[in-house]
Amino acid sequence: MLSVQSVTGGYPGHDVLDDISFDVERGELLGIVGPNGSGKTTIFKMVSGILKAKSGSILLKEKPIASYSAKQLARVLAVLPQHAEQAFPYTVKETVSLGRYAHQSGWFQSWSEHDEAVVQRTMAQTGIASFEDHYVNELSGGERQRVFLAQALAQEPEILLLDEPTNHLDLSYQKELLDLLKRWTREQGLTVISIFHDLNLAGLYCDRLLLLENGQINLHNKPNDVLNEERIQSVYRTKIEKHPHPTVPKPQMLLLPEKQAEDLSDLRITEKWLAHQNDMITLNAPFPLRTMSSGVVGSGTGWYRTFVNRHVDKTYNCTDHKGEMTSFLEAHGIDPTETVGMMTAVRLEDVAYRLIEDDDVSVFVVVTAGVGNAVDASKSREHVYEPLPGTINTWVFVNGTLTDEAFIQSIMTATEAKVKVMHDQQVKDAVTGTTATGTSTDSILIAATQRGEHQAYAGTITTLGKLISEGVYTCTTEALENYRLRLSK
CB closer to other proteins, 97 vs 482? 97
Among 6, 21, 67, 109, binds other proteins (CB under 8 A): 109
Q: Which residues pair with 399 in a beta bridge?
A: 362
Choices 101-109, 285-293, 383-391, 400-408 (CB under 8 A): range interacting with other proteins: 101-109
Q: How far is the CB of 317 from other proteins (least distance, A)?
A: 59
CB closer to other proteins, 111 vs 303? 111
Does 101 contact other proteins by CB under 8 A?
Answer: yes
CB closer to other proteins, 106 vs 257? 106
Q: How far is the CB of 133 from other proteins (least distance, A)?
A: 5
CB closer to other proteins, 11 vs 303? 11
DSSP states of 303-338: EEEEEEEEE--TT---TTHHHHHHHHHHHTT--GGG
Distance between CA atoms of 418 and 397, rounded to whole angstroms? 16
Contact 417, 473 (CB under 8 A): yes
Cα-Cα-Cα-Cα dihedral of 471, 473, 474, 478, to 10°? 130
Q: Which of residues 1-40 bind other proteins (CB under 8 A)?
A: 12
Among 38, 155, 362, 469, binds other proteins (CB under 8 A): 155
- As to burial, measured by CB atoms within 10 angstroms (0-12 exposed, 13-18 middle, 19+ buried), residue 474 is middle
Does 49 contact other proteins by CB under 8 A?
Answer: yes
Among 43, 102, 153, 472, binds other proteins (CB under 8 A): 102
CB closer to other proteins, 49 vs 203? 49
Q: How far is the CB of 82 from other proteins (least distance, A)?
A: 11
Helix axes 171-188, 141-153, angle to 10 degrees: 10
Give the x-and-dash track for 333-372 against other proteins (CB under 8 A): ----------------------------------------
Start-to-end C-alpha separation, the chain: 82
**DSSP 8-state class, residue 261:** P
Q: Which of residues 59-98 bind other proteins (CB under 8 A)?
A: 69-71, 73-75, 77-79, 81, 84-91, 94-95, 98
CB closer to other proteins, 59 vs 84? 84
CB closer to other proteins, 91 vs 228? 91
CB closer to other proteins, 48 vs 393? 48
Q: How far is the CB of 64 from other proteins (least distance, A)?
A: 17
Give buried/exposed letters for 264-297 (b at 16+ CB in 10 A, else e): eeebbbeeebbeeeeebbbbebeeebbbbbebbb
User: What values do phi and psi take at 96, rounded to 5?
Assistant: -65, -40
Total residues contacting other proteins by CB under 8 A comes to: 37
Q: Of all helices (H) and strands (E), which one includes residue 182?
A: helix 171-188
Give the x-and-dash track for 191-230 against other proteins (CB under 8 A): ----------------------------------------
Q: Which residues pair with 14 in a beta bridge?
A: 11
Q: Which of 242, 329, 254, 342 is nearest to 291 (CA)?
A: 342
- As to burial, measured by CB atoms within 10 angstroms (0-12 exposed, 13-18 middle, 19+ buried), residue 383 is middle
CB closer to other proteins, 76 vs 280? 76
Contact 343, 380 (CB under 8 A): no
- Please list, in sequence order, all residues whose beta carbon lies within 8 angstroms of the beta carbon of residue 167, skipping any fewer than 6 positions away: 82, 145, 197
Q: Which residues pair with 33 in a beta bridge?
A: 211
CB closer to other proteins, 85 vs 263? 85
CA atoms in the 13 A half-sphere facing the CB of 240: 20
Contact 366, 471 (CB under 8 A): no
CB closer to other proteins, 109 vs 277? 109
DSSP states of 28-53: -EEEEE-STTSSHHHHHHHHTTSS--
Going through 68-158 in order, the beta strands assigned E by DSSP cover 77-80
Among 10, 30, 39, 48, binds other proteins (CB under 8 A): 48
Q: How far is the CB of 144 from other proteins (least distance, A)?
A: 11
Interface positions with other proteins (CB under 8 A): 12, 45, 48-50, 69-71, 73-75, 77-79, 81, 84-91, 94-95, 98-99, 101-102, 104, 107, 109, 130, 133, 151-152, 155
